[in-house]
């Protein structure tokens, strides 16, 4: 048995076989291998094409359920490309003419087709070059070059995957459908991938470094997502012990379910709103199970991910509208696009930056691309006619940004009026307080908005100068640092003086050790990954705020 110790990012205990999720470096296939058995290479290509088409069928059907027809379409487009006769002929000709291996033939064909698309005048056609590369990579993976992607639907939810790192969009594509847990060499507790893993309830341990070895592939493993420990080829005593621990956790979950339907109120009657963070459409499904008071943070960027170009106003409108309708009169805070830093999207064509977390991200991109921003805002405004939608802006660091943003909202409203399209005239506007600058001018910002939501993930990163992505300094990422608590206190006081609502939507909102402090400070809303809500509800209902308030505040 090998025991690997890393960072626990998503709770839960899972047993399974470890599979390597190998990121295929596409250009590695540019090396030609000569072969005599041309028939075998052609058959390999044909079989992998068939498998790739099956995968795309499955991806299409899953996406249809999760994100609707508009987003699922991309998989049908990929199918059409794979079935293209010129593409297949090119691969087969290269195998025959050059006595080449199938991987090389696909790589070469892909490169030629990509060049053709890239040289076209039309921007839409130019973007198809990326699709050619995607389908070619998929076909090569299906030749046995990637054990995870080759899984058929029978393997659903059976895998534990191991790899160097996973990006948020890769996790979305794997979508929790194939995997029941993952472990990585890199990673940190507060990266967006980890946040997604928690909300998708996928037990995971990251930052294992060189402890995670390729020879562990196909070994039995147990992930203890509570302790951040992975057992490879566990002995029978460990299996028994972890099974017991899992049973206890399941019981605990059952116990928490008795808090469903109960009010979020302390012993002495102080109310607080416990809402959910939504980082993926799957999250909506579990909101009902835990009965969150609403959605305190809807990370709209996932709607922009895993596609080839910006979603249109109509596409966005349909998604926001369906969420607003599903939530009825419960509030839905849609945060406008916060890409950049670790959330990279190819078609945004963002520059390479030395310091992306402090660079071109969030509101900065939106204000720099007003047409895209207006499309986004108009879609949200239109959806507000169908439910209780509020709009929130990320990464604010100056008064000017919020004033410019409000001007743009005004323009959008005028345009909708002209088009006779309905929206909620008095829609509430809020901002994230996640930069130290916003904290220190929160008295001024409070006069311009209806609510604040404190984003401690970024606030900690920027205040303590600790990269939330960097596992080397992860031990310094401390949301309970006195500096952070004092900032939260300051923001609360400024919000209260201005008579506006203040919440927290960073990961610390789900930390039971902090619930008393937040109640003592008079926080109005805690928004977190849905699976944590019932635990925090229990804590709120066990707290007598009057008894602890003075002592807590005096210590800050």
Cite the active site residues: 192, 505
Nearer to ligand PEP, 51 or 195 (CB): 195
Site string for Mg ion, 384-423 (x = CB under 5 A): ----------------------------------------
Any contact of residue 301 with Mg ion (CB under 5 A)? no
Any contact of residue 430 with Mg ion (CB under 5 A)? no
Nearer to ligand PEP, 338 or 516 (CB): 338
Nearer to ligand PEP, 160 or 528 (CB): 528
Q: Report phi then psi at 297, rounded to 5.
A: -150, 110
Q: For residues 186 and 44, is the Cβ–Cβ distance under 8 A?
A: no
Q: Report phi then psi at 205, rounded to 5.
A: -130, 130
Q: Outline where 291-338 has alpha helix (H).
A: 313-327
Residue 313 tokens read as 């106003």
* Residue 505 partner contact from Mg ion, ligand PEP, none using kind-dependent CB cut-offs of 5 to 8 Å: ligand PEP
Nearer to ligand PEP, 162 or 455 (CB): 455
Quote the strand ranges of 137-272, DSSP E: 159-163, 179-184, 204-206, 220-224, 229-232
Any contact of residue 311 with Mg ion (CB under 5 A)? no
Nearer to ligand PEP, 230 or 433 (CB): 433
* Residue 299 partner contact from ligand PEP, Mg ion, none using kind-dependent CB cut-offs of 5 to 8 Å: ligand PEP
Residue 187 tokens read as 């990673």
Sign of the alpha-carbon dihedral angle for 365, 369, 372, 378: positive
Residue nearest to ligand PEP (CB): 455
- Which neighbouring-strand residues pair with 392? 335, 430
From the CB of 233, what's the least distance to ligand PEP, in Å? 36
Q: Which residues make up the interface to ligand PEP (CB under 6 A)?
A: 195, 297, 299, 338, 434, 455-458, 505-506
From the CB of 395, what's the least distance to Mg ion, in Å? 7
Residue 483 tokens read as 């500096």
* Residue 303 partner contact from Mg ion, ligand PEP, none using kind-dependent CB cut-offs of 5 to 8 Å: none
Any contact of residue 340 with Mg ion (CB under 5 A)? no
Q: Quick one: how far is CA 515 from the chain centroid?
A: 25
From the CB of 461, what's the least distance to Mg ion, in Å? 8
Nearer to Mg ion, 140 or 392 (CB): 392
Any contact of residue 479 with Mg ion (CB under 5 A)? no
Any contact of residue 187 with Mg ion (CB under 5 A)? no
Residue 288 tokens read as 């009902």
Using N-to-C axis directions, what is the helix angle for 85-98 and 69-83, rounded to 10°?
40
Q: For residues 277 and 297, is the Cβ–Cβ distance under 8 A?
A: yes
Q: Report phi then psi at 298, rounded to 5.
A: -105, 105
Any contact of residue 503 with Mg ion (CB under 5 A)? no
From the CB of 458, what's the least distance to Mg ion, in Å? 4
Q: For residues 451 and 396, is the Cβ–Cβ distance under 8 A?
A: no
From the CB of 372, what's the least distance to ligand PEP, in Å? 19
Best CA proximity match to 534, nearest among 293, 326, 297: 293
126 burial (CB, 10 Å; 0-12 / 13-18 / 19+) is middle
Any contact of residue 507 with Mg ion (CB under 5 A)? no
DSSP state of 24: P
Nearer to ligand PEP, 297 or 495 (CB): 297
| Nearest-angstrom CA–CA distance, 209 and 368 | 38
Query: 162, 294, 296, 455: which one contacts Mg ion (CB under 5 A)?
Result: 455
* Residue 456 partner contact from ligand PEP, Mg ion, none using kind-dependent CB cut-offs of 5 to 8 Å: ligand PEP
| Nearest-angstrom CA–CA distance, 92 and 105 | 7
Any contact of residue 294 with Mg ion (CB under 5 A)? no
From the CB of 459, what's the least distance to ligand PEP, in Å? 7
From the CB of 38, what's the least distance to ligand PEP, in Å? 51
| Nearest-angstrom CA–CA distance, 186 and 165 | 5
Binding positions for Mg ion, rule: CB under 5 A: 434, 455, 458
């Amino acid at each position: 048995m090998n025991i690997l110790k890393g960072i626990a990012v998503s709770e839960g205990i899972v047993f399974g076989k470890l599979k390597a999720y190998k990121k295929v470096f596409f250009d590695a296939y540019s090396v030609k291998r000569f072969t005599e058995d041309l028939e075998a290479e052609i058959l390999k290509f044909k079989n992998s094409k068939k498998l790739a088409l099956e995968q795309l069928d499955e991806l299409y059907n899953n996406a249809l359920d999760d994100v609707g027809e508009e987003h699922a379409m991309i998989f049908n487009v990929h199918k059409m490309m794979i079935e293209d006769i010129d593409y297949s002929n090119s691969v087969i000709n290269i195998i025959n003419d050059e006595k080449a291996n199938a991987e090389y033939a696909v790589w070469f064909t892909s490169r030629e087709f990509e060049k053709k698309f890239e040289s076209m005048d039309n921007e839409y056609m130019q973007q198809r070059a990326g699709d050619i590369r995607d389908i070619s990579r998929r076909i090569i993976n299906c030749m046995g070059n990637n054990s995870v992607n080759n899984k058929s639907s029978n393997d659903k939810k059976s895998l534990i995957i191991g790899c160097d790192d996973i990006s948020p969009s890769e996790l979305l594509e794997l979508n929790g459908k194939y995997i029941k847990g993952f472990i990585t060499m890199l990673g940190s507790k507060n990266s967006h991938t980890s946040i997604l893993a928690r909300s998708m309830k996928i037990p995971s341990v990251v930052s294992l470094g060189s402890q995670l070895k390729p020879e562990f592939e196909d070994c039995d493993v147990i992930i203890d997502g509570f302790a951040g420990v992975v057992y490879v080829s566990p002995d029978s005593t460990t299996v028994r012990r972890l099974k017991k621990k899992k049973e206890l956790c399941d019981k605990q979950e059952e116990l928490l379910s008795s808090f469903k339907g109960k009010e979020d109120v302390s012993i002495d009657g102080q109310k607080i709103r416990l809402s959910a963070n939504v980082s993926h459409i799957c999250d909506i499904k579990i909101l009902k199970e835990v009965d969150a008071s609403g959605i305190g943070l809807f990370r709209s960027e996932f709607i922009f991910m895993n596609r080839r170009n910006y979603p249109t106003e109509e596409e966005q409108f349909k998604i926001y509208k369906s969420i607003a309708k599903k939530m009825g009169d419960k509030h839905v805070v849609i945060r406008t696009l916060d890409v950049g830093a670790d959330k990279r999207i190819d078609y945004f064509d963002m520059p390479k930056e030395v310091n992306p977390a402090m660079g071109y991200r969030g509101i900065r991109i939106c204000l720099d691309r007003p047409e895209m921003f207006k499309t986004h805002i108009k879609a949200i405004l239109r959806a507000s006619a169908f439910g209780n939608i509020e709009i929130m802006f990320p990464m604010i660091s100056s008064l000017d940004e919020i004033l410019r943003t409000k001007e743009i909202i005004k323009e959008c409203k005028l345009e909708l009026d002209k088009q006779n399209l309905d929206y909620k005239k008095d829609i509430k506007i809020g901002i994230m307080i996640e930069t130290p600058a916003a904290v220190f001018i929160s008295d001024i910002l409070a006069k311009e908005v209806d609510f604040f939501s404190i984003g401690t993930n970024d606030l900690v990163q920027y205040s303590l100068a600790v990269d939330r992505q960097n596992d080397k300094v992860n031990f310094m990422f401390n949301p309970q640092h006195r500096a952070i608590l004092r900032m939260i206190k300051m923001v609360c006081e400024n919000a209260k003086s201005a008579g506006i609502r203040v919440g927290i939507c960073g990961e610390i909102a789900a930390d039971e050790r902090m619930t008393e402090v937040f109640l003592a400070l008079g926080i109005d809303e805690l928004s977190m990954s849905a699976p944590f809500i019932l635990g925090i509800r229990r804590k709120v209902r066990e707290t007598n705020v009057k008894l602890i308030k003075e002592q807590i505040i005096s210590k800050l």
